[in-house]
Structure 1
Amino acid sequence: MAKRKKPKYQIGDTVVITIYGTVGRITDVKWLDGDYLYEVNKSHGLFIESALQLFSEYDGKIMEQEHIDIEYKFFIGDLVQVSGYGADLFKVIGFRTEIWRYKEDAWEDVIYELSRINDGQWLEVGEEEMTLVADAESAETFIQKLGLLYLVDQEKSTKTPALQNMVRKAEYEEINRKKEKNELIDHLLDIYNDYRILYELFSDPEYYHVMRVVLKKLKSLVSNDGKNSHV
Structure 2
Amino acid sequence: MDNKDKPHFKIGDTVVILKYGTVGKISNIRNLDGQYYYEINDNGDLFKDKGLVLLSDFKGEILAKEQIDIEYKFFFGDLVQVKGYLDELFKVVGFRTEIWRYKEDAWEDIIYELTRVTDGEWLEADENELILVAESDIAESYLKKYGFIYPIKKTKKPLLLPSPKDQFNHKIDSLLDMYNDYKTMYIMFSDSYYIDMMDSIKIQLSDLLKKSNNKLRKHS
TM category (shorter chain) comes to 0.3 to 0.5
